[in-house]
């Protein structure tokens, strides 16, 4: 498996003196594994220090081109972690949410209430009919029928919708269920290891701005 990483390098003083580099969208791909193999084939006795010198020269040559914004390295995981534990212990478990909990309550075709007709041309929250908002996404005491006059999701008052805090709590209940932290979110505690949770940037901004605000 390839590991692609965007590398920010500390380069030679002569290059640093050029000032901040303005991104131009071109990143040079460096296939480190293949290049190491080629160097070892050309010189079977090559040392680690010699490989280091080779890559240092290569990186400086690439970054000396003002059109190159940075480097993208292709590195084998077995080189980064040569003493890895058994495969079963290396599995990364996590989740990437598909929408922002702070901004949208947008159902997909498998999560719509009875009576909902989601237009085929509707691909974002701006056109979702109010009748398509699931009951679970509404504030306590509010029903889907009560939203009929609003027509579409953007017209529904925030007070009639589930709060972003509750939406996140519901998400974390699903995410952590079966893990050691499940009890913190009313889930069933277990031993499943979890490594990451990927959220949208606007959710991080919302949480930072609302850290002292009471939940509605």
Residue extents of the structural domains in the chain: 2-80, 94-98+164-209
Query: Residue 75: in which H helix or E strand, if any?
Result: strand 70-76
More confident residue, 153 or 198: 153
Mean pLDDT of the chain: 76
pLDDT in tens, 73-112: 887 777 766 676 665 555 556 666 667 776 665 555 566 7
How many other CB atoms are there within 10 angstroms of residue 121's CB atom? 6
Alpha carbons 11 and 60: distance in angstroms, whole number: 7
Q: Exposed, middle or buried: residue 153 (CB in 10 Å: 0-12, 13-18, 19+)?
A: buried
Q: Exposed, middle or buried: residue 96 (CB in 10 Å: 0-12, 13-18, 19+)?
A: exposed
More confident residue, 155 or 9: 155
CB 32, CB 72: distance < 8 Å: no
Enter the tokens of residue 109.
């075709």
Strand partners, 72: 6, 29
pLDDT of 149 higher than 50: yes
pLDDT of 12 higher than 70: no
The reported pLDDT for the residue numbered 19 is 58
pLDDT in tens, 15-41: 444 555 555 457 888 888 889 988 999
């Amino acid at each position: 498996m390839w590991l692609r990483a965007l590398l920010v390098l500390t380069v030679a003083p002569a290059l640093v003196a050029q000032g901040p580099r303005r991104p131009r969208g071109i990143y040079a791909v460096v296939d480190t594994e293949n290049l190491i193999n080629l160097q070892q084939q050309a010189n079977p006795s090559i040392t680690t220090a010699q490989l280091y010198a080779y890559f240092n020269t290569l990186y400086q040559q690439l970054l000396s081109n003002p059109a190159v914004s940075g480097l993208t390295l292709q590195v084998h995981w077995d080189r980064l972690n040569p003493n890895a534990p058994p495969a079963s212990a290396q599995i990364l478990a996590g989740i990437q949410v598909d929408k922002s909990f702070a901004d949208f309550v947008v159902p997909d075709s498998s999560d719509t209430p009875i009576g909902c007709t989601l237009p085929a041309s509707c691909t974002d929250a701006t056109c979702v009919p109010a009748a398509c908002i699931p009951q679970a996404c509404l504030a306590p005491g509010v029903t889907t029928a009560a939203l009929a006059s609003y027509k579409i999701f953007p017209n529904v008052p925030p007070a009639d919708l589930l709060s972003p805090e509750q939406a996140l709590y519901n998400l974390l209940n699903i995410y952590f269920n079966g893990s050691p932290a499940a009890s913190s979110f009313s889930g069933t505690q277990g031993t499943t290891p979890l490594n990451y949770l990927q959220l949208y940037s606007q959710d991080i901004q919302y949480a930072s701005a609302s850290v002292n605000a009471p939940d509605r």
